[in-house]
């Protein structure tokens, strides 16, 4: 006698598994229309985002020699390994960091490019001397993650552009200093050595052990002391301001045999605006009521308020094509995933949208 449930359609006893149910085929896993479309879009997005890195990783490992002018003129392709001879304006460098207690990066504009070319350097300062030749990856400055922070910093904190008096006078007509546009309300500052004032640093010795003793000795030597009182410098020295030139003071000190001294020039800091400075006559710059001869000025600093140009470039030093070897394999994997789910998307469209439905 056959066991119960062995024949098709026979009753199945309680607590017994129906063998017919075990043989039922499971439904095939289906990739939905939304899932397939989402994966295809994400794969395509990542491939596009990696395109610049892939292009740089596939470029020549030998740096192409270019000039800063060729870069700002747009004659050099982006994401190339380049070598450029340039002088960064270190005084205008900006430090970009991702958090506190990090050295981050130093980003400095290149002189003579009107801030349209920047050099990105390590922030620790331990890199080998460059000799003003920098190698790295060429990119748009706006494409860097810290571009907005740099633009905000240089706008809120104008950096001085230094130029000699002759270049400043030429800028009166052009309105630009080192390629940077200058506005009338931009601040101008420079240091001038006062030819009629000097400082005398004296050391206390057995014969002249105090400020009072030195005051008498300097007066006896015919040195005219300034209105400012002597300033102690620790316990063994003091500073005297005198209303005489450095040459005259040095000569009188030698005649009086006051050898425990040192004479230093006095530098005066003057500030004005670009609009006021433009009205200066030839041969001298007007600051307030005084006219300072060009020969007494070494450099003039112009604090031009400006942000970074939107067409600026950056050379990321230290980045080399071989560092991006992994980008091509990742791109190939993403393309493969995209193709698989593109095929699944086509099947989902046919199944869910194009197949006839019973009414």
User: What pTM was computed for the model?
Assistant: 0.65
The predicted pLDDT at position 2 comes to 46
Which fold is adopted by the domain 64-158+308-319? OB fold (Dihydrolipoamide Acetyltransferase, E2P) (2.40.50)
Q: Where are the alpha helices (DSSP H) in 132-245?
A: 147-156, 165-174, 211-220
Query: And the tokens for 58?
Result: 């596939």
State what percent of residues in the chain have pLDDT above 70: 91
Q: What is the mean pLDDT of residues 296-325?
A: 88
Weakest-pLDDT range from 80-89, 172-181, 234-243? 172-181
CA distance 164 to 174: 15
Report residue 2 as tokens.
């056959």
115 vs 280: CA distance, rounded Å: 28
For residue 86, give the 3-state DSSP assignment: coil
Q: What is the mean pLDDT of residues 277-287?
A: 89
CB 262, CB 200: distance < 8 Å:
yes
What pLDDT is stored for residue 59 in this prediction?
Answer: 87
**Which residues have CB under 8 Å from 43's CB, separation 6+?**
334, 335, 337, 338, 341
For residue 266, what are its two tokens?
């006095």
Higher pLDDT, 310 or 332: 332
pLDDT tier at 357, thresholds 50, 70, 90: low
Q: Is the pLDDT of residue 347 over 80?
A: yes
Predicted confidence (pLDDT) at residue 358 exceeds the cutoff of 60: no
CA 297 to chain centre: 30
Residue 116 has pLDDT above 70, yes or no: yes
Tabulate helix, strand, coil % of the chain (nearest 5): 35, 25, 40
Q: Average model confidence (pLDDT) for the chain? A: 87
Give the integer Cα–Cα distance in Å for 290 and 162.
22
In the block, which residue shows the tokens 């006896």?
220
Ranges 48-52, 90-94, 323-327: which has the least confidence: 90-94
Backbone angles phi, psi at 160, to 5 degrees: -75, 140
Q: How far is CA 308 from the centre of its chain?
A: 10
pLDDT confidence band for 349 (50 / 70 / 90): confident
Nearest-5° Cα angle at 146, 142 to 152: 85
């Amino acid at each position: 006698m056959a066991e119960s449930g062995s024949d098709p359609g026979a009753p199945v006893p309680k607590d017994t598994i129906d063998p017919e149910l075990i043989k039922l085929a499971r439904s095939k896993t289906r990739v939905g229309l939304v899932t397939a479309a989402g994966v295809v879009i994400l794969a395509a997005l990542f491939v596009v985002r990696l395109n610049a890195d892939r292009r740089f990783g596939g470029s020549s490992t030998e740096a192409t020699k270019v000039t800063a002018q060729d870069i700002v003129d747009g004659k050099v392709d982006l994401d190339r390994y380049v070598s450029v001879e340039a002088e960064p304006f270190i005084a205008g460098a900006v430090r970009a960091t991702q958090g506190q207690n990090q050295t981050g990066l130093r980003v400095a504009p290149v002189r003579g490019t009107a801030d349209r070319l920047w050099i990105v350097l390590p922030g620790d300062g331990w890199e080998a001397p460059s000799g003003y030749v920098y190698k790295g990856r060429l990119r748009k400055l706006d494409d860097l993650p810290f571009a907005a922070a740099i633009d905000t910093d240089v706008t809120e904190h104008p950096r001085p552009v230094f130029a000699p008096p002759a270049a400043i006078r030429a800028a009166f007509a052009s309105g630009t200093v080192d390629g940077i546009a200058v506005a009338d309300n931009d601040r101008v500052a420079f240091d001038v050595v006062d030819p009629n004032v000097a400082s005398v640093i004296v050391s206390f010795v057995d014969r002249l052990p105090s400020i009072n003793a030195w005051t008498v000795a300097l007066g006896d030597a015919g040195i005219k002391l300034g209105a400012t009182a002597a300033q102690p410098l620790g316990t063994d020295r003091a500073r005297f301001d005198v209303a005489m030139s450095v040459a005259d003071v040095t000569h009188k000190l030698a005649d009086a045999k006051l050898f425990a001294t040192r004479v230093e020039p006095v530098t005066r800091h003057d500030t004005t605006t670009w609009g006021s400075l433009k009205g200066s006559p030839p041969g001298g710059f007007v600051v307030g009521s005084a006219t300072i001869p060009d020969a007494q000025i070494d450099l003039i600093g112009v604090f031009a308020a400006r942000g970074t140009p939107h067409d600026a470039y950056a050379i990321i030093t230290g980045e080399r094509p071989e560092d991006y070897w992994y980008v091509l394999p990742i791109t190939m994997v993403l393309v493969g995933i995209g193709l698989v789910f593109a095929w699944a998307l086509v099947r989902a469209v046919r199944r869910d949208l194009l197949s006839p439905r019973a009414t």
